[in-house]
A and B are shown apart, each in its own frame.
Chain A
């Protein structure tokens, strides 16, 4: 398992060197973008509009390419469609040669990173200078960008000062003062821009009808790059095309809010090149006529047409590269883009891009760092289901995996649909229900084995379970056994519900299930707890889509008659609710998925609804005189994405509790993630952030809705952390 150890070591090193700068920058921008979105009423409407525009543009891509070609040519420019990165580089090189150019200045563009144009041109003897200050820094440091829009965000000002001081022969060393560093870099870069023969930009959007480019920037370097040299080359992926100028409106209002947390960036340039501005010739100190301007639009395919044909990856092409998904990612906040890897793109949607324009291997590096927490999704201005793209890519990687020495250990324990070579760790966590069933036949024995040194050794060697984690312990009696013996205790019910017995509640923590039963009964509801299979959350989190689909079908089969009978389905574990409400749309026929989505509820969402409709809450446990009113509540990441966390808060506050909530995106445990030996430390780093965020809660009860969150908080606070339903259950 040395590769797990290598991964752990690499991530540990990154957290030590780049972690602080990354954490500070991503968390700040993530927070700012939260504020910007909250203050913007049109957010959801514009996301819908943006999504529609992108869907239709990608559908009509071939026509748009023809249209933009005509428009640009009519304006006096040229369009080149490059099939591959090599083609694009050849085209750029020949433009350089035709213009007898020596120096090219560039404004930030991930697409040009994708084709490695700098290396190519430098190899051919040209000088290339990045003009975005962040890009300039990493060009000097000879590093890869660590973020879509903040390429140098892994560096502190002190790092940058050290870099400049060692790179340049300065009369006086620079300190780490950001103003001084900016001034220094601006002077250097400014001189290059004035001297350059060719200016290269990317494009955030390209308008097919007019050949207009939209460039979104704060520094102004893209403006200068486009307008100062007489030759402008824009390199853009074909997915950047939109039909008309009016289509830019929603994006203009969204891109900064999600990307940087600004309402709008300093500059949104709408350029229709070649532009009419006179050409400033700084050497001759004269203005040359605009007629001398040349413009080339290089449209890059490089795998995009293939992505367009791929039902699962297609959505990636809607991405406007705002970087929000990385900023919202707890693991990205801890390790940064260099931890996620990827040849060009990193973090969040990076997996989709890497799989589409490079290959599965370069996507694979980062893929396992996505825990499926889904906090990126509400931040995506084009509503991409980023976790699903990560799941699909993981599934594809699983299917190209190699065999493993420990296969014999899991024969029979893992009745899944996955290929024989699937990583054993994934297989273990993906088949948790079968393991739970076997383990619970003799709970005492299973607990003793899992907790023993020998047991931990096997778990670590074979499955990569970190020995620093304790596996959850089997309960003596499952929730269903308890309920079978006890039976329903409501005779004249107002409603009947099915309480979904998720694996964790059933086998490991029946107490929260019992509390849910008591709360529902106190509100006049009769509870049924039939046998229902695991939701498929476990296999899907390991990228085992076929297995998850089987589970989804079985769950649907088990629940549908109850739903037909008018029973609502109440769910304790948020990650399972998220399966029913969100992920099943990928696994089941549309009508089946909708059926389940519409009839499943979070347990406290359901309690809220009952109370709101007049149920008598007198029997619930309210805070007494013993000062137990203070509660600290950490909601589950997927609950937040579904907007159901607020019901728990409301129920608790309405009952008289004073609730403090956490602001962090995820607890860091994220199902199996925190158990994996290669990610244990990342998981703890994310957890520490939650600890800092909650602050001093010595005097408060601490509750959490998710199993994983409960376990993580157990460790962080060294106390038992119940589900909020346990707080209010009648004693």
Chain B
């Protein structure tokens, strides 16, 4: 990842971006999270979710949570997109059913553009991580006349970038 990609990413993400480091991740996450929160485990060294975040939510916990936190496999700078790999831990549900989604991405996973993203996706798919959602900003519709944010998915999306991961 170049610092250029990081700053492009930051300006393209439709919603708040929190830059932080592994050491400060706890504090940053608690800023971005509104409780009750559900989540899936973060795969980054020395970064973990607070105990208050329910990582094994029941359907009703999913429905009542205010925030869902998941890792993102990639950030795509040109588009402000994160990719949510959806696996057995339930990332897809956590990132979809809650009104606020917080995606945590390692700076080293931010790629400049879509062709590079597809190269990485190709590797992931070959390795079995073969379902990923390219998510860009909140869910939205214009079917009722004007643009309304927050339809079946989150109305608010945050991205936390771990600068040293």
Closest CB-CB distance, A723 to chain B, in whole Å? 40
Binds B, one of A177-185, A300-308, A397-405, A610-618: A177-185
Contact B125 A210 (CB under 8 A): yes
CB within 8 A of B152: which of A25, A179, A189?
A: A189
Give the number of residues in B that approach A within 8 Å (Cβ atoms): 47
**A278 to B90 Cα, complex, angstroms:** 6
Q: Mark A164-185, 1 if CB is under 8 A from B, else 0.
A: 0000000000001011011001
Contact B131 A282 (CB under 8 A): no
Residues of B within 8 Å of A275, CB to CB, are: 86, 92, 131
B134 at the interface (CB under 8 A from A): yes
- Of B60, B86, B121, B135, which is within 8 A of A245 by CB? B121
Given contacts A150-B142, A264-B136, A270-B133, contact A249 B115 (CB under 8 A): yes
State whether the Cβ of B7 lies closer than 8 Å to any Cβ in chain A. no
Q: What's the nearest-Cβ distance from chain A to residue B114, in Å? A: 5
Mark A211-253 against chain B: 1 for CB-CB distance below 8 A, else 0: 0100000111101100100000000000000000110110011
Interface stretch (choices B27-35, B43-51, B143-151): B143-151
List the 8 closest pairs (A to B, CB-CB), nearest first. Answer: A220-B153, A157-B145, A134-B143, A220-B152, A220-B139, A272-B130, A268-B134, A178-B145
Closest to B132 in A: A270
**Residue among A186, A223, A272 with the highest chain B CB neighbour number at 10 A:** A223
B97, B137, B141, B150 — which one has the most chain A CB atoms within 10 A of its CB? B141
Which residues of chain B in 57-80 are interfacial with respect to chain A, using CB atoms and an 8 Å cutoff? 58-60, 62-63, 79
Q: Which residues of A contact B150 (CB under 8 A)?
A: 182
Asked if residues A186 and B130 are in contact (CB atoms below 8 Å), the reply is no
- Identify which of B86, B118, B145 gathers the most chain A CB atoms within 10 Å of its CB: B145
Chain B 144-165 interface residues, beta-carbon cutoff 8 Å to A:
144-146, 148, 150-154
User: A277 near B86 (CB under 8 angstroms)?
Assistant: yes
Which residues of chain B have C-beta atoms less than 8 A from A265's C-beta? 136
A264 touching B134, Cβ below 8 Å: yes
Selected A-B contacts with CB under 8 Å, 10 pairs:
A150-B143, A182-B141, A212-B130, A220-B154, A253-B114, A266-B136, A272-B125, A277-B86, A280-B62, A285-B60
Which B residue sits closest to A289, measured CB to CB? B88
Q: Let me know if A287 and B131 touch, CB within 8 A.
A: no
A193, A210, A264: residue with the most chain B Cβ atoms closer than 10 Å: A264
- CB of B41 within 8 Å of the partner chain: no
A659 beta carbon closer than 8 Å to chain B: no
User: Is the Cβ of A281 less than 8 Å from the Cβ of B59?
Assistant: yes
User: Does residue B20 face the partner (Cβ distance < 8 Å to A)?
Assistant: no
Question: Quick check: A182 and B114 within 8 Å, CB to CB?
Answer: no
In the complex with contacts A248-B118, A280-B62, A285-B59, A221-B145 CB distance below 8 A: no
C-alpha spacing A285/B138, complex, angstroms: 26
Residues of chain B from 87 to 111 with CB closer than 8 A to chain A in the complex: 87-88, 90-93, 96-97
B36 interfacial contact with A, CB 8 Å: no
A152 at the interface (CB under 8 A from B): yes
Question: Contacts A210-B125, A221-B151: A249 and B118 contacting too (C-beta < 8 A)?
Answer: yes
The smallest C-beta distance from A509 to any residue of chain B, in angstroms, reads 44
**Chain B contacts for A282, CB-based, 8 A:** 59-60, 63
A674 to B139, CA, bound (A): 42
Q: Is the CB of B122 within 8 A of A246?
A: yes
Q: Does A9 contact B (CB under 8 A)?
A: no
CB of B23 closer than 8 Å to a CB of A: no
Does B52 touch A at the CB level, under 8 Å? no
Known A-B contacts A272-B131, A275-B92, A285-B59; A133 and B151 likewise in contact (beta carbons under 8 Å) = yes
Interface residues of B (CB under 8 A from A): 58-60, 62-63, 79, 81, 86-88, 90-93, 96-97, 114-115, 117-119, 121-122, 125, 130-146, 148, 150-154
Contact check: which of A156, A176, A267, A268 meets B139 at CB < 8 Å?
A: A267
> Is the beta-carbon distance between B93 and A219 smaller than 8 angstroms?
no
Q: Which residue of A lies closest to B88 (CB)?
A: A276
- CB-CB under 8 A from B60, the residues of chain A are 282, 285
Partner of B131, one of A25, A264, A271: A271
Say whether, besides A220-B152, A266-B135, A267-B133, A157 and B59 are in contact (CB < 8 Å). no
> Given known contacts A263-B79, A278-B93, is B152 in contact with A186 (CB within 8 Å)?
yes
A 296-320 to B, binary, CB cutoff 8 A, 1 in contact else 0: 0000000000000000000000000
In the complex the two chains form, is B134's CB within 8 Å of A219's CB?
no
How far, in whole Å, are A185 and B153 apart by their CA atoms in the complex?
13
- Shortest Cβ gap from A223 to chain B (Å): 5
Q: Which of B59, B81, B118, B151 contacts A286 (CB 8 A)?
A: B59
Q: State the Cβ distance, A385 to closest chain B Cβ, in Å.
A: 27
Q: Give the complex CA separation of A193 and B97 in angstroms.
A: 12
Q: In the complex the two chains form, what is the Cα distance from A134 to B146 in whole Å? A: 12
- Apart from A181-B145, A267-B153, A277-B93, 18 more pairs, CB < 8 Å: A137-B143, A160-B144, A182-B144, A189-B152, A223-B92, A223-B153, A224-B152, A249-B118, A267-B135, A268-B133, A269-B134, A272-B130, A276-B88, A277-B86, A277-B92, A278-B88, A282-B63, A290-B88
- Contact between A133 and B138 (Cβ–Cβ < 8 Å)? no
Find out whether the CB atom of A179 lies under 8 angstroms from the CB atom of B148. Answer: yes
Is the Cβ of A219 less than 8 Å from the Cβ of B59?
no
For residue A131, CB closer than 8 A to chain B, the reply is yes
Shortest Cβ distance from residue B17 to the other chain A in the assembled complex, whole angstroms: 17
Q: Counting CB contacts under 8 A, is A132 at the interface?
A: yes
Give min CB distance, A180 to chain B, whole Å.
9
A190: CB under 8 A from chain B?
yes
| A194, chain B: closest CB distance, angstroms | 8
CA distance A12 to B108 in the complex (A): 59
Whether the pair B144, A266 counts as a contact (CB closer than 8 A) is: no
